[in-house]
Amino acid sequence: MTLKYRQLGNTDLRISEVSFGTWGIGGDWGTVSDKVSLQALHTAMEQGVNFFDTADVYGNGHSEELLAKATAGRESEIYIATKFCRKGDINDPANYTEEAVRSYCEASLQRLKRDRIDLYQIHCPSFDILKQGLVFEVLDKLKAEGKIRYYGVSVESVEEGLFCMEQTNVSALQVIFNLFRQKVSQQLLPVAHEKGVGILARVPLASGLLTGKFNHQASFESSDHRSYNSNGEAFNVGETFAGLPLAKGQELSRELAWIADGKDNMTRAALRWILDHDAVSTVIPGFKNSQQVLDNLGALDVPSFSKAEMSRLELWYKENVHAHIRGSY
């Protein structure tokens, strides 16, 4: 496979169009092995992946520590995006003061064993906090000091994303975007493209629903968010199964089985669909092992969807999916 690279908005970062999120190797997706996780990270980098997304709460910082080990000696060529704010109360303004944000930043730098964070993201804060705007002033200061290279926001809704793009120094938005969550393509991607704001597409496989591998008896470990957050008990329901009830998601996934035709499997087809949107800078599926890394990268070798197929999928979403999504988006 030949990995391609896209510009992250108006930044000087050219990142692999398929990159990886590290929530899964932190431990919130059931049991994982550090040895297997590190091997998978090396597999990704051997294939040309140069961008990884993490957060200080993924395994309580464990994902950041694993990335430090995997990328040691390659800090200048492997870019890392991390996130902050969810170690505290996301609704409390005190969680976003210069003192608090600086503390979060320094702790991540220490775990990552780096002098600078390539992309520092506010991790799904409340909309009220974004509207107050003070956290952006803090991030501007950290950027001026060289602690962070660029900053962005991981948002839950289109409305939040549109608001953030009014903040002139936001370089990237991380959004839930997949075949079950197409609203982003209609309302947010065109604006991001116009303004030169990078887009990181998260939850691209709807927590595994879009792999087509879940049967009726699918069950998950108690430590897996697909068990403890299936109805939004712990955090925004959109982060789990893209906001769909599991049974409905399985039903809709079966309706989509046709997308695998000529594209190897549903996983690769679902990722290809996201990449067929030019405004997307990178898609960041999760992984637990090298085989999943390689399977996700296989999306690069399958053909794009035709205009007719894209229209069919958009209409299907509007008629069959949109009404079933829970949570603000």
Q: What is the DSSP string of 29-89?
A: BB---HHHHHHHHHHHHHTT--EEE--TTGGGGHHHHHHHHHHTT-TTTSEEEEEESTTS-
The packing angle between helices 34-46 and 290-297, to 10°, is 30
The packing angle between helices 290-297 and 266-275, to 10°, is 50
Catalytic residue among 5, 58, 150, 228: 58
pLDDT value, residue 250: 92
Q: Note the pTM of the prediction, 2 decimals.
A: 0.95
Instruction: For residue 308, give Cα distances in angstroms to 120, 181, 259, 304, 328.
Output: 38, 19, 13, 11, 29
Distance CA 175, CA 184 (A): 8
- Reading the chain (329 residues) residue by residue, the pLDDT tens digits are 789 999 999 999 999 999 999 998 986 667 789 999 999 999 999 999 999 999 999 999 999 999 999 999 999 999 999 999 999 999 999 999 999 999 999 999 999 999 999 999 999 999 999 999 999 999 999 999 999 999 999 999 999 999 999 877 899 999 999 999 999 999 899 999 999 999 999 999 998 899 988 766 677 777 778 877 777 777 777 788 888 988 898 999 999 999 999 999 999 999 999 999 999 999 999 999 999 999 999 999 999 999 999 999 999 999 999 999 998 78
Question: How many domains does the chain contain in total?
Answer: 1
217: in domain: yes
pLDDT value, residue 28: 66
Instruction: Give the phi and the psi of residue 146 in degrees, each rounded to 5.
Output: 85, 10
Domain of residue 90, residue span: 5-324
329: in domain: no
* Nearest one of 168, 249, 263, 237 to 213, comparing CA atoms: 249
pLDDT value, residue 182: 96
Active site residue 5: no
pLDDT value, residue 116: 98
Q: Kindly report the CATH number assigned to the domain that includes residue 141.
A: 3.20.20.100
9: in domain: yes
Kind of pairing between the strands at 20-21 and 14-16:
unpaired
pLDDT value, residue 229: 77
